[in-house]
Structure 1
């Protein structure tokens, strides 16, 4: 039913109900990670999520890693209880200025800082079980958010939410660049063969999962600037004469499939690395 409602929202031009990458993207990133962690870490993930009832979030289950991947969006419907986490989903750095993560992450209230925090919480077995489960669910979701370029780059338009754009021959007043990357393009990229949720080779993992959250933030910001906005707004969204409404032609969409797939693969494999670091054997233990 959720998948049907999201499809209906897409076809009618309404934004999805606060699901960055919608369900399909987050679940795919989670699935890639789950298949690429060590067997011991996979068992630790399962053990934590078997106790997810401790979260006491009725209607927002987290019994599997796929459910956990959208839990952080689902809890937005629970009112003020989790309102403190709203700003943790993004860090919209201006694409028309030099990259600067620090000024866009006040007091750690941004997605990259929360990823680092969640890893620390998962490593600490002195943290109560409930808090570690919550850290796991947040981590799985936030790594997905960080790799959606329009959660990292911004043009004074709420990460593309106010950037009205056409998607091929599909155009409505409410369709925007953020929604396109969250849903329409993500669906196209994930559905394009070869299958993305699989075990990756050591060479593939090594090529994608290196770096820090700041490195990944800069990379996603560059994709937002040089790929997402540039493709929709005539090559330079920062130009004085950039069009008021973006347009992704069918030809442009074809060229965007691979960059979109790359971001999802990067997110999945980097999440796998972080989970191995957080839940695997600790140095000196």
Structure 2
């Protein structure tokens, strides 16, 4: 129930959609005081979100949590790579693997796999769409790695997960990590605070490894005219903040235990 509800609510309350719905509702109800309030509020929010670097600064905060290229131990037991870098719908439509803006998750996985030739590699990626595509990220990932000559025999595929919490849940059931083992968690920098909190608060000690950044890490205060860019960053940032709050409230991120 959590998964479909979270998807539906996010469709409605993601920043740009929410603002536009407010404006449209305000136009429809313009004869009433509530309508005029919604219209003015929607226009105000559109300007604030569209011209100020709010999303950029939130992303800076998230991405600066774990700096790039962290110092890693000489040996690790495993590498966990979270899905989200493959567009399953476009891949099926064009019969060609289609990567998205999170492709660094895959490129860093390949690099780390060469640095740690004996480490286990877990790729956690099922199908995160409501409509259920005809293939999972794990299946497509296997095809991609074979095409580039990677030894897919090293990969343990977790193909059931639909969100970050399920990435953890099904991966831990696959590999049964033991206390004292060293596992590197690879995902996008903006996603890493939420992902690492899920893993570590539930007892799987991981080394956070950011793969791919959206910002330069520098906070800004001046308005700009990149409206679409500002809304894109705000959408990514808002999804992470809402995700952290929702996972904490539902105890998918636990706050009453120490990291293991």
TM-score class, shorter: under 0.3
TM-score, length-normalised on structure 1?
Answer: 0.22
TM-score, length-normalised on structure 2?
Answer: 0.23
Choose between structure 1 and 2: higher strand proportion: 2
Choose between structure 1 and 2: higher helix proportion: 1
